Structure 1
């Protein structure tokens, strides 16, 4: 279901929708809205913001819809006609989005990471943006019988994780959703302020 279809559906049913809005005074922030109407040939949405109660106009191409598993419909002209099933597919689509002289993209078995390059061509250790699969994690759980902490290994429900500079960290159960979120966050990761003062061209 597209962003517009989801919004139309919520107008009919009267449901509150959680969105990420890539505009306004706080771009990238999650917010809850009550959609009222779609304007200007599907270009704008009139909705009431649940937090402050004000009715506002949002540009639809800057809206991403969120559900319990994360972002389900991406805005900003990102087509979801392709179904991503592997990191290699994402890698092949991501490479053309970066300047090869400034960035190094590394593909591993469970990880895809983007690194800034030094002037000598070698890549920096720090990550610009990264997507990886977390197989398991360890928690310390207090054992009342022994009065000690035991290490307990758990499998995450949302093992696909994305993080980076100026990127809102997120995790997903579904790789395809994670892949689209990764692509969507590239413009936020490659900005004037967070990549050593250089502007993405």
Structure 2
């Protein structure tokens, strides 16, 4: 039985399921979830240790037995910020995105990628982007893209950038090999300081 089927079964039966989530703030840690809804891409579930309802990518979930030796998810663990501004996070990636066929608009408050008309002019409507929502202290980063049923918000810029780059790569006008967009190659906060 595949991961998606196992999660659907747990959602229908109202069962708890133990998973290792290879994403989020603590990748590779074990969590206990109560699945609510499951799609081919995402699961919406109550994270039992925090009591919060969260979205998880099915592709990053590994269903494991309760006694699996992986480390448990630590509630309230705080990650240091990886980037301090959107420009720092993405200015080194603009050329790469342009190579993928995008017109890129980048500022301190947002980034977006646009297709071109046959005439060579960029379209006004963006295919994907990140916006910084002024006044939102907890989750200021707003990400939208073609694979997202609704926009997603993030408290950490690194997570917003990762999702934006995933959307930009997957829907690029000129597809490149999978190595063209190496998310691990993003500079870390310490590498940005001169």
TM-score, with structure 1 as normaliser: 0.48
TM-score, with structure 2 as normaliser: 0.50
Higher helix share: 2
Higher strand share: 1
